[in-house]
Structure 1
Amino acid sequence: MQFQERELTPGASPRHLYGAEIRRQRKLVNMSLVALADILGYSRVHVSRFETAERAIPPELPPKLDIAFGTNGTFVAMYELIKNEVFPDFARRFMELESKATRMRKYMSATVPGLLQTPGYALALLREFQPGAKKEKIQEDLNARLSRQGILVRDEPPHLLVVLDEAVLRRPVGGPAVMAEQLEHLLAVEESSNVLLQIVPFGLGSHALMGGSLTLLTQGDGTQVAYLEGSHTGQLLEDVTTVAGYDLAYDRVRAKALTQEASSATIHAALKEYE
């Protein structure tokens, strides 16, 4: 039975438009789905689902499309418009600001921030947060989360200050092997000139940000926003007075955190326990 291509709806969303452009370019060069699939290294079904927007575009696909069609970076540029569609609406504005920030300050009470997560650690969290989700959905979300880490390796990366509650080190997300890999990654990352990690030890007791997670983003023009994040929710705050309050709370917590050297020693100690 002959394969019947489905009708496209490019006006439905940027992701649908992206898929429609794949098909348009494919038709322009008179290329079949099978031929394009062979070039891209995917199955015909996968490529068809990219065109119909049933599957998210993985980060490695856009440059392959530009090579296949000779489109000189068109698909790479368009990918910037769709890469965050997998995330909920409340997070997209934050991620837009995050991608342009010159300085980031984060406090995390329970997990490693997404920008510093290893694939194994991120996968373990996604499986817990989305019980019953299909493997394809989990993989799409994993690709989207890891793609955000490109912010830290761009030509002019932001300065990143991360304060972690000691609980982040002690909770074995994904098991000992996954945690050992994650902590090794944190130790490697802190050697970067633009990243600073500090730990808030259990012995500190209570503090102003206990039980939540906070990100403060500073833009190139000096404006600042705050983002409060839970396991399934997020709130972006842009009011100057409100943000200033969280700015002060962050500084108070960071002032009580361990020094960079003591924090590194604490991470090393936790790593030995997992090894």
Structure 2
Amino acid sequence: MESTLVNRKELNPDASPQAAFGARVRSTRETRGWKQDDLAALVGYSGRHISAIETGRKPPTLQFSRSLDTALGYTDTTASFERAWSQLRRGSLLEGFPEYLGQEALAAEIRLFESGLIPGLLQTREYAQALADSAIKRGVITREQADERVSFLIERQAALVRPQPPMVIAVLDESCVRRPIGGTAAMDAQLAWLMEFAEQPNTMLQIAPYSIGEHRPFDRSVNLLTLSDRSLLAYVESQTQGHLDRALTSVLPLVRAYHQLQAVSLSQTASVDMIHQLRKGTL
């Protein structure tokens, strides 16, 4: 049963992980031009059930999530609804992040800013493993969760390797490349990978040096996506909260701030040279 435009309920993906799941179902369905009954026929549920999932009135189940993945071609991918259901069930991802991941895997352009740590999309397995092992020692996660976290990250990176890969622009605070993680060998390998990343035709890497001081516009992690229809999406994360935003009134200021950040950051050539000097121990 497809809601009419008059009765269409506006969704708030930030209300809860369940709401984010439902909002993503609707967004994915509408992107493909399907009505609720169209999707229902493909997954073996009623249009009323689809409506209840999308509006958060009914929680998704494992079986429903797997049926979605089969219908959408998402099985065993980072965009998988089964994976989102699993994370929702455990409550192990911050608000907004499950929906963000689904959009990231389809984005035409990804812009990242990070401070303190190399962003996940650019982490080597050894670097990510060191962070996960540290979380185990602090009692934050279990060994099983740590292994899943690293495996998921590798799958997330693999999702960007496709016939038409997205443009990935990363601006890293200088602290990211100076902070040693995982020991000398692991950190050197991580810095070497950043240099390789910068050489790819669909990437751009810049370092925001300490010297820009108060001119750095961001104090926390920022992810900006440009989707294939040129719409914009922002995901901003703190230590304990994540916020996904589609409203142009709030996303455009972040895009402008990102451009300002790029303007005061080192060029890619200078950034790679800084990383090279750090590897040599001469900086």
Same fold (TM over 0.5): yes
The 5 Å alignment of 1:6-45 reads: 13-14=61-62
State the AA in 2 paired with 1:145.
L
The 5 Å alignment of 1:203-242 reads: 203-242=211-250
Unaligned runs of 5+ in 2: 1-58
Question: Do residues 109 (structure 1) and 157 (structure 2) align?
Answer: no
- 2:81 corresponds in structure 1 to 81
- 1:250 corresponds in structure 2 to 258
State the AA in 2 paired with 1:81.
F
State the AA in 2 paired with 1:93.
E
The offset of 1:264, in angstroms, is 0.5
Q: Is the 8 A contact 1:115 1:148 kept in 2?
A: yes
Q: Spell out, residue by residue over 1:248-270, the C-alpha distance to the aligned partner (whole angstroms, 9 max, x if none).
A: 11110110111111011011111
The offset of 1:16, in angstroms, is 9.3
State the AA in 2 paired with 1:123.
Q
- 1:260 corresponds in structure 2 to 268
Q: Is the 8 A contact 1:110 1:168 kept in 2?
A: yes
CA RMSD, aligned part only?
2.4
State the AA in 2 paired with 1:124.
A
Deviating 4+ runs (over 6 angstroms): none
The offset of 1:17, in angstroms, is 7.0
The offset of 1:82, in angstroms, is 2.1
Unaligned runs of 5+ in 1: 1-10, 22-72
The offset of 1:129, in angstroms, is 3.9
The offset of 1:96, in angstroms, is 1.2
2:102 to 60, 75, 96: 96
Greater Cα radius of gyration, structure 1 or 2 = 1
C-alpha spacing 1:241/1:16, structure 2 compared with 1 (3 Å): closer
C-alpha spacing 1:15/1:231, structure 2 compared with 1 (3 Å): farther
- 2:39 corresponds in structure 1 to none
- 1:200 corresponds in structure 2 to 208
- 1:30 corresponds in structure 2 to none
C-alpha spacing 1:12/1:225, structure 2 compared with 1 (3 Å): closer
The offset of 1:153, in angstroms, is 1.4
Identity %: 32
**TM-score normalised by the chain length of structure 1:** 0.70
C-alpha spacing 1:89/1:201, structure 2 compared with 1 (3 Å): closer
- 2:124 corresponds in structure 1 to 118
- 1:68 corresponds in structure 2 to none
- 2:53 corresponds in structure 1 to none
- 1:67 corresponds in structure 2 to none
Alpha-carbon distance in structure 2 between the residues aligned to 1:229 and 1:251: 19
Alpha-carbon distance in structure 2 between the residues aligned to 1:198 and 1:168: 11
SS of aligned partner of 1:241:
helix
C-alpha spacing 1:16/1:124, structure 2 compared with 1 (3 Å): farther
SS of aligned partner of 1:96:
helix
Q: Spell out, residue by residue over 1:220-256, the C-alpha distance to the aligned partner (whole angstroms, 9 max, x if none).
A: 1111011111234311111111101111111101101
Q: Is the 8 A contact 1:214 1:226 kept in 2?
A: yes
- 2:152 corresponds in structure 1 to 144
Alpha-carbon distance in structure 1 between the residues aligned to 2:240 and 2:64: 26
